[in-house]
Structure 1
């Protein structure tokens, strides 16, 4: 008896509507790494690393969709636009699918492939979409899956490798009622597209051997590309050689009766007779761009190229030497390492080191500067080929001057985005790192970060040297801060971040020696380490945990992030007083009556205090936490599951104190949350109340900002009855429109009576509430 070999995967239909977070969140994603392009309705739909955008060549307008609008935030591998069904379908490296509807922008998330346990995580990549009738054939690294576009649900999946095994399918094509699949599995597979038993691997036949990069039905010719980049026509199941391309063929497409063949450095356009009528490569050599093309399409005889570094390029013709970059404005990259906010501007750097401050392998990523209106991206070449830039510090007395720390090349000084000085051992007192024998390593000068103290002096870390804390003088000379009394083995200690308190003391974070403090006014030093009385640091690494974050709150307490948890130094200045004892301990809170340690054994990557004294804490794999000033109450936790964070690995936090915008830099992109918590201002001249009026159906909070620290805010009805009173911590408060947190107040006009802490300055505003 013959046993029918049916290897059918039943994908349980699972999709969900994703939430649009655009009311409180903003995405700042990079659109320079284009992974795939689709064409439809006279628009170009481009997929960047983890966001998409539509470009209208006629109006030259762009429309972006990112994690804030519902995209998942993972790495995109393929995109297809269906004119028939007015939707875009997005495929991801991890097997996730998302559908974006044209009519309302609604995003559907389909997790069937992502969650399938019988398919290895590394074999779920979506390689290609082929629309055929009312469905798409999805080429994946495990086989082919059907997805019905009419009712948005999966059909069958085909495991077409030998004996029904999984096989990497690179592309599919339908030709003469036959479904063909190019594979990286030794052959081209084909079967009747209308065969009801496509799930039976025995109905699939093979052509040729070797591996195949792609296959396409072009002008009634079935064409395929072999792994050696040779183009063949398949005729009666025979392979007829046509030509060979000069590089790895990454994509086969067709538009407007033209075949488009993409390699990393060339785009070839062929007519129906397979004669080359367009070639793009020489013009990029003229402008010295190191191209890495991923995709190309044609719309109205205009060639669009998606590059992995330069974004979406619009050519003036198939052989044009002129091009225009049409990607949306954004930062260079999504892999953020550190953020710096000053006024309405933001600096983003991408250099990095690992958990023990090792910068290798060295990266060359440049920096990004957001002015509030547009992005300015400075490349590796713009910055005198400075590698591993890990920090930016804005000169508060001259905001056009910025100090960039390099964890391999020293200190870079910019003015108006131009390099004016690069400091390294050849022209300053900066010192190369030392090897275990104490000998310097040429070309390895590690400045991890810089900070201004209350006197306007710039301090910096100079890792793995005899004197790892240094100061820059007004005439750009480097002066050593002597830590020898406290730091016993400096050349065995990596250091990176530095911070300063409001008294001018400077603190240096190290890999295994805790925190080293320096008091410039006296020259005294001290430390927060496990061998110091009163200090309770996590007991995971010896002799001390890696110090990964430091932040002073509004009460001059030092919040300390380590690779294994959170600590608070309640009196850090005690390290400079031999008669005082430090108090460094975890935050303990009760959960169901059981004592718990806040962020126990979490890797803390960054900490920021907002204007109200709340603390924002970034973690390596659990998202972001916002706690109150004591740490006893968690106000928010943002993760991929409940927010637009593109990743739970949040590397850096920065807060715009004037607007309350909180920026989160992750390894997959930059987003921000409008917290409405602002810094206190000097006077009450610019008090704002919003929304105002409060309209029917509104369920949020009313924000009153432009307040001075500790200003008293009373809200009364017009007859003088008090319904709310609060003292401002920072520059704003929020009111839930309830009378002392109980019932909602009725429609009417309410008075906002504000008195400054000095009891002299006052301000009055009004709120109209309409129920």
Structure 2
């Protein structure tokens, strides 16, 4: 018995943006003059008339879970989405409203391993849902569940792959040697397993009716026509059929290498197969008009003609190569994404050859592996601050890849650089496990290499000079005393900080060749395994471990202080002192222009804290945001526009936080929108964290005072850096976040100001530089 539990999903499009991959397609259907395609956890539509592409992602309200099947209802003009975990979502209306149906997902009496949605079959307003436990019936008109059918022996739960309606009977293709089950649709007692008749034997993958004919596909790769409950063999496919559906009176069978289109009498109309240009695996297919639309694992949807299925057109929205990004790096409206990966013990095998993705000017340039000079397992990214068109990427097997203007130009390894390949004891096998990268303020590229005596190295792109630095004082045996390095940061004193697996935080300063570690319980470290590091604007080191968070407040005396200890952050939770992020597995830490901290976790989403960690500004999870997963892989902030990119194991999203990096001078400061027109409707909002509201002043230096007056000189609003923060609990009407200030249009009496010209007086409190801006408000 399923009790109808539905909810409307929230649309997050105001501040969030999705950056999902549409290369790997799970299912393709047609309806309403559109082709709908589901990739791993999002969908898109292709308008057959206008050729317009439209995406529907977690930003629009989708769950972000793994999609297994989709179906379009022409009667109700709705798209049904089925998921691996039993969730169902129904998309309808011109604004793609998402209705979430959680009954199957939340049903405690059904094991989570049996909740997979395999197929939707709509008939007379009822949807027969094939699952790994049986069949459930959903009423699309009333938006509620009816009966569920457990049709195995003794009423047990069995896998049902697909159902169809034929001659007033319902047929179910079943796994686990349960053959095909049949029952009269008019039977009021279908919940009784004894009302279901068993036809044939073995495992069946699909059953489909097509204009007066009934077909079934068995796990022996054979397709059969069912006549008077007798199975007549028609054909045996070289590969197992993955998708069987009816469209426009035709039967479409999809295997991993071919698509077969038959008429209702099983006469072959067309066969489409892969070719040298599109060497990929097929997953599903449908037809519309004179074309076949094929879901693939590598190219999105391929479109070809039924009468001549030789040439293909790619149909796919813009997006990165894959959803499981390993590392990301943002800057100057650019974003680089790698997919190299290694496990928690720094094992890179099997080696990944996934290519790279580069978002530039809001368009994705995906660079395939065969254009990357054979560099495998690409991981960390470093953009040259002195030459933003030059990017370096570490290959956790091959060395250092140099890319200029999106073209791979050099691969540095043990043969042509100062990098060292690992030489494992008692073997001749070598590889070059290059990990974290970081540019310093002088344009030197610093890197960490695993399993070598001198793991820390610097490279000068201008001169080509390499330098190596030894950690032998604390890591005598590079093969037994350390597995790998997780992060690399450089503070204002030039000290290089890296996280390690066995040795906690390691600090190195080439001035005096000093090296030291922070890793024991006596030093207040919760774990020796450090996963993330960040130097904040006060030169404090934030440390993320697999068992919690620590801060090293005094980095300057790290080498001189005999008993260095890290500090936990203690907060008051309902008046009770608690350690911030106690026992949390922290995967990344980033600092924004206001010195606020973004902290990603393994299973609890992402946190946004005030500079001292005492206030939680945001805690985003997959339940309250467009995050497709609570597993955060990496975070990167574009300091120019305040956009925070968040990589998860199920996709990439970005959040417009509104802050920005402070500038060195005020000369380029500006205010927008200007003028403020009535149709903008941006004044009066109390939440300054919503960057879509309020008047913004950008291009500020790091320590300013701003006064806003009317044309007669009367003070209207005032804010000062480090005092009036957007995240403050004081709920300011005017606040400064790094290089950006936001004013909600209210005066000192908390009333929205009248129409008129306003002066914005900006004073740098350190350099005494000033700037005056004018703002016109029309109400």
The aligned runs of 1:549-564 (5 Å cut-off) are 549-564=532-547
Question: How far apart, in 1, do the equivalents of 2:434 and 2:80 lie?
Answer: 45
TM-score by length of 2: 0.92
Q: Is the 8 A contact 1:86 1:103 kept in 2?
A: no
Separation in 1 of the partners of 2:452 and 2:755?
67
Matched-pair contact (CA < 8 Å) for 1:341–1:655: yes
Alignment of 1:747-766 (within 5 A): 747-749=754-756, 750-757=758-765, 758-766=767-775
Give 1:363's match in structure 2, choosing from 352, 359, 373.
352
Does the residue aligned with 2:292 lie in a helix, a strand or coil? strand
SS of aligned partner of 1:73:
coil
1:705 aligned to which of 693, 698, 706? 698
In 1, Cα distance between the equivalents of 2:773 and 2:401?
Answer: 48
Q: Which residue of 2 aligns with 1:453?
A: 440
* Corresponding residue number in structure 2 for 1:56: 47
User: Do 1:18 and 1:70's aligned partners in 2 also have CA atoms closer than 8 Å?
Assistant: yes
Q: Match for 2:510 among 517, 520, 525?
A: 520
Structure 2: segments with no counterpart, 5+ residues = 689-693, 722-735
Residue correspondences, number: 747
Return closer, same or farther for 1:634/1:259 CA change in 2, 3 Å cut-off: same
Alpha-carbon separation, structure 1, partners of 2:107 and 2:126: 21
Q: Distance in 1 between matches of 2:753 and 2:670?
A: 24
Give the distance between the partners of 2:420 and 2:110, measured in 1 at CA. Answer: 52
Kindly indicate whether the alpha-carbon contact (under 8 Å) linking 1:256 and 1:301 is maintained by their aligned counterparts in 2. no
Distance of aligned partners of 1:321 and 1:511 in 2 relative to their CA distance in 1, 3 Å threshold: same
- Per-residue CA deviation, residues 682-720 of structure 1 (Å, 9 max, x unaligned), is 324341234834638853532322212212112334551
Aligned to 1:465, the other structure's residue is in SS state coil
Counterpart Cα distance in 1 of 2:234 and 2:681? 69
Return the alpha-carbon distance in structure 2 between the equivalents of residues 768 and 617 of structure 1: 38
Residue 495 of structure 2 corresponds to residue 505 of structure 1: yes
Indicate conservation of the 8 Å contact 1:724/1:739, yes or no: no
How do 1:312-323 residues align onto structure 2 when only pairs under 5 Å count?
312-323=301-312
Q: Once the 2 structures are TM-superposed, how far is the Cα of residue 84 of structure 1 from its aligned partner? A: 0.9
| Whole-angstrom distance in 1 between the partners of 2:682 and 2:165 | 55
Distance 2:625 2:333 in 1: 24
Q: Which residue of 2 aligns with 1:633?
A: 615
Contact 1:467/1:490 (<8 A) preserved:
no
Post-superposition CA distance 1:572-616 (Å, at most 9, x none): 23233x357645211111222221111101111111111111111
1:377 equivalent in alignment to 2:366: yes
- Where does residue 174 of structure 1 map in the other structure? 165
Distance 1:419 1:725 in 2: 47
Give the corresponding residue for 2:28. Answer: 37
Find the partner of 1:425 among 414, 417, 422.
414
Distance 2:769 2:95 in 1: 52
- The answer to whether structure 1 residue 347 and structure 2 residue 333 are counterparts is no
Whether contact under 8 Å (2:759, 2:772) holds in the other structure is no
CA distance in 1 between partners of 2:569 and 2:682 (Å): 42
Q: Which residue pairs with 2:384 in the alignment?
A: 395
The structure-2 alpha-carbon separation of the partners of 1:443 and 1:232, relative to structure 1 and needing over 3 Å to count, comes to: farther
Alignment-derived partner of residue 375 in structure 2: 386
Correspondence for 1:651 among 630, 633, 648: 633
1:566 to partner: Cα distance = 0.7
The answer (yes or no) to whether the contact 1:159–1:201 under 8 Å persists in 2 is yes
Structure 1 residues not aligned, in runs of 5+: 1-9
Cα-to-partner distance string for 1:363-392 (whole Å, 9 max, x where unaligned)? 322211100221011222222333221111
Hey, what does 1:695 align to over in structure 2?
Answer: 681
Correspondence for 1:127 among 112, 115, 118? 118
Contact 2:243 2:284 in 1 (8 A): yes
Cα deviations by residue, 1:645-668 (Å, 9 ceiling, x for unpaired): 111111111111111111110001
1:337 aligned to 2:319? Answer: no
Superposed CA deviations along residues 120-163 of structure 1, whole A, max 9, x for unmatched, are 11111111111101111111111111111112111111111111
CA contact (8 A) 1:161 1:185 kept: no
Give the direction of change, closer, same or farther, for the CA distance of 1:596–1:269 in structure 2 (3 Å limit).
same
**Which residue matches 1:279?**
271
Task: Classify 1:729/1:117 alpha carbon distance in 2 versus 1 (closer, same or farther; 3 Å).
Answer: closer
Contact 2:328–2:381 (CA<8 Å) still a contact in 1? yes
